[in-house]
Amino acid sequence: MEKFALVTGSSSGLGLEITKSLLRQGYTVFGGSRSGTEIEHDSFYDVELDLSSEESVDEFFETIREFTDKLDLVVNNAAICEMLPLNETTRESFEQQLSVNTIGPFLIFQGVESFLKPHETHLISILSTAALYGYPNVSAYSASKFGFLGLVESLKKEWKDYHIRFTNLFPGAIDTPLWDKMGSRLPRHKMLKTNEFMSVFDFVINAPASMQFPNLTFLHKDGFIE
C-alpha cells in the first residue's frame, strides 16, 4: 500500500535528508520549501511553500489533494534562526521567526487535519533542545520553539479521539550549513552529525505502530553547548 508523507523545509539540511530517507523507504513525499529541492524522483513532489503565508499553505494542501486525501506521516521541520543578543534583535526578526517557526506549524496542522488517518497518521515535530532550554543569543528562536511545543501539547489533547501518534524530537545542535550562514563560533565537533540525527529519526518512524515516543531528547555525548 502506498504511503504518503509531508515534509516542510525539504530543500536543505535535515529536511533534505529526511526526504531522501523517506523516498528510499518507499514513501511518496510532498516536500514544501521556498527555494525548491535538488531531488529528482518519481515519488517526490516538490511544492513551493512559504510558511509565513496562509495563502501559500492553502495552495500547498490543494496540490497535495490532487494526489491523495490521506497522509501517513507529517514532518514539521522547517525553521529559521538568527543568533543575536536581545538588544540587537529587531522586532522584524523576532516576528519573522515566530511566523515561520510557530505560526507556520499552526497553519500546517490546520491544513493537515482533514488528511489524518485515524489510528495511523504519525505527526513528527522537529523542535530542538531550544524548546526546552533557554540558550543565550537566540531569544527569538527559543521563544518560537517554546511556542511550537505548547501548540503540539495542546493539540495532543484536542485530537485525542483520532488516536494518532505525536513525536516531538528535541535534538541538540546539529552540524549543518546553517551554522556557516549564522557565523557561529560554537564548536562544531561537539555537535551531532546529520547521519546521527537520521539514525534516531529512522528508528522512530520504523518502530512498531503500537509504540510511541512522545518526547525524545538527544544530543552529542559532550552535552549542551553555548
Longest dimension (CA), the chain: 53
Bridge partners of 166, per DSSP, are 123
Q: What is the mean pLDDT of residues 203-221?
A: 94
Confidence of residue 183 (pLDDT cuts 50, 70, 90): low
Q: What is the pLDDT of residues 44-69, one digit of tens each?
A: 999 999 999 999 999 999 999 999 99
Confidence of residue 187 (pLDDT cuts 50, 70, 90): confident
| Structural domains of the chain in order of their starting residue, each with its CATH number | 3-218 (3.40.50.720)
**What pLDDT was estimated at residue 11?**
92
204 near 125, Cβ under 8 Å? no
**What pLDDT was estimated at residue 188?**
76
Q: What is the mean pLDDT of residues 204-212?
A: 94
CA distance 140 to 144: 6
Q: What is the pLDDT of residues 152-164, one digit of tens each?
A: 999 999 999 999 9
Reported as type and span, the H/E element at residue 126 is strand 122-126
